[in-house]
Amino acid sequence: MQNIGSKIFGVFVVALLGTLLYLTVFSDGLGQAPDVTVTTASGETIQLSKPMKPVLVNFWATSCPSCIKEMPYLAKMKQSLGDRFELVAVSMEYDPVKQVEKFIKANPFPFTFVMDTDGKIAKAFGDIQLTPTSFLIAPNGKIVYRQIGEVKFALVTERIKKMSPPL
């Protein structure tokens, strides 16, 4: 009886992994990323609808306690995965520029900060109002993860690893 349970569990795990692979690589997932281009701190441009590697886009605000709380965890994820993905933190239109600049200067996290001063990026992603809101974009430009609230770090880390094997 225990042997049958083990086989059923094994089939379930294989089916689950196959489904995850399909959803992250071959399916439309949650739709196509919008045609938005951002510039990294090093001057590189990333076209979010056609990135070269996975990109995690995180909408945040200095007035959002959850956003501030998750920033160090985003930094740890970026440090552990390195160049396997890009992380773009987009401040909201209503966030005062000087306040955002002060936060970035005081917290030199290892990812790209973008100020959405005209709200065009938030609008392109479906008129984002709530923060934090995050999107994981696969190298094929498909959105494969969307989260309103704090990022599910273990899940996102595994998806990034599957989409970008170590070099």
Contact between 142 and 163 under an 8 Å Cβ cutoff? The reply is no
Q: What is the pLDDT of residue 42?
A: 72
Domain count, the chain: 1
Domain that holds residue 14: 2-163
Q: What is the pLDDT of residue 24?
A: 47
- For residue range 31-42, list pLDDT tens digits in order: 999 999 998 767
- Alpha-carbon 14 to chain mean position: 26
Q: What is the pLDDT of residue 165?
A: 76
Contact between 145 and 159 under an 8 Å Cβ cutoff? The reply is yes
With a cut of 50, list the residues of the chain below it in pLDDT.
24-28
Contacts of residue 84, defined as CB under 8 A and 6 or more positions apart, other chains included, come to 53, 54, 160, 161, 164, 166
Q: What is the CATH number of the domain that holds 30?
A: 3.40.30.10
